[in-house]
Structure 1
């Protein structure tokens, strides 16, 4: 892929409070192929998030033939979709829209013009249902900070609320916020449709290196379910 000439965003990159997660990430080859193909390339470069918040940039892991033979992930059809995200500790209140899978195998993302919008990956779990739900957002754009600009400031115990279309509110607590080099992402900790209900908020951080990579790291907030309030 040709080098992306996009200049560095005007805002600072998120500063890491710990770098231990760099060595903790597993090699992509140790992750089942089915998981890799879902997460391959996760964000299309042209969508902007590939430059400023591209969590799973594994486009080089799977071959073209692997992508062609793999069955594409299908959008789930839950009874109640996530529609709003609130993270009081970092003053985030944002709409949530479903994002699916692009033709190149990447996850679709909110447009750069919607810098305060987040995207729920609708091939994965619904927030509050069993498994790990994934919500992505921009860290910044050329015009300034975006919705997950302060994601790295979250602390264990901070609350995250997801309002669903049936007006129920699912509350999670932050367990940890970690940085991962884009070459060593722990897919087995991020993706999964079974087990306890958990949430992953994902954006970019670390140093800006430009080109196809953008920021060198991914910032991931790991959160577990506290309760669900029904209307």
Structure 2
């Protein structure tokens, strides 16, 4: 452990309690995703927008515009596996690896020695196809920020691009950014399809403060986006 303090790095907002560094996201930290995956299997759809619990620990979200002029929805694509995730506003160009569930039934994030890699839940929706595709990534490691460190600073209207195995680019537009306290986590709101028939995307990482007792963060950052463009 280096003891390096990078709390002011970029525009990330994962707040650490006390001194020292952040921690990699543990398997326990992702357990909150399990209920959402269970709800998916029950075909939860048409979640009302903006019904999440109060946000916490998200300094960068203060002043985020409540309304933004967004591009129209485009028809979904046929399914294809994701190869790369690009988020220009964050300076992210990350390879994507397929992930499943661990022995506890929680989704597996990328391995701890791959902080720059994004995990895609391969048993769910493929990005660009109808439904909600789920991507997860680490917020930090013991020594430095990781791929989703700046996730909560994304703004409504910014773009997320997924390079797919069929050679197509699926471009998504951010329409919601939430930091949801784990004690008030609403899996239906976080992971359910917002509008039937759309191709949607969720990016998830940890947020809030780091609890040294449980070795987990106190909240989840959940970014929602919808398919707004395609290209070769």
Retained in 1: the 8 A contact 2:102–2:108? yes
Partner-residue secondary structure (3-state), 2:116: coil
Match status 1:49 vs 2:25:
yes
Q: How far 1:10 sits from its partner (Å)?
A: 4.5
RMSD of Structure 2 on Structure 1 (CA): 3.0
- Counterpart residue number, 1:222: 224
Partner-residue secondary structure (3-state), 2:125: coil
Question: CA offsets per residue over residues 86-133 of structure 1, 9 Å max, x none?
Answer: 000010000011100112101111111101000001121111111111
Matches of 1:104 and 1:15, distance apart in 2: 29
The alignment covers a number of residue pairs equal to 179
Matches of 2:226 and 2:80, distance apart in 1: 19
| Structure 2 residue ranges without an equivalent (≥5) | 15-22, 42-77
Alpha carbons of 1:123 and 1:82: their partners in 2 closer, same or farther (altered >3 Å)?
same
Partner-residue secondary structure (3-state), 1:204: strand
Retained in 2: the 8 A contact 1:9–1:141? no
- Counterpart residue number, 1:137: 137
Question: CA offsets per residue over residues 116-155 of structure 1, 9 Å max, x none?
Answer: 0000011211111111111000000002000001111100
Matches of 2:25 and 2:96, distance apart in 1: 16
Q: How far 1:190 sits from its partner (Å)?
A: 3.0
Retained in 1: the 8 A contact 2:161–2:170? yes
- Counterpart residue number, 2:160: 160
Alpha carbons of 1:181 and 1:147: their partners in 2 closer, same or farther (altered >3 Å)?
same
Q: How far 1:200 sits from its partner (Å)?
A: 0.6
Matches of 1:54 and 1:104, distance apart in 2: 12
- Counterpart residue number, 2:75: none
Corresponding residue to 1:204 among 186, 203, 206: 206
- Counterpart residue number, 2:7: 12
| Structure 1 residue ranges without an equivalent (≥5) | 1-5, 17-46, 62-69
Alpha carbons of 1:104 and 1:8: their partners in 2 closer, same or farther (altered >3 Å)?
farther
Alpha carbons of 1:58 and 1:159: their partners in 2 closer, same or farther (altered >3 Å)?
closer
Retained in 1: the 8 A contact 2:181–2:218? yes
- Counterpart residue number, 1:112: 112
Retained in 1: the 8 A contact 2:25–2:216? no
Matches of 1:57 and 1:120, distance apart in 2: 16
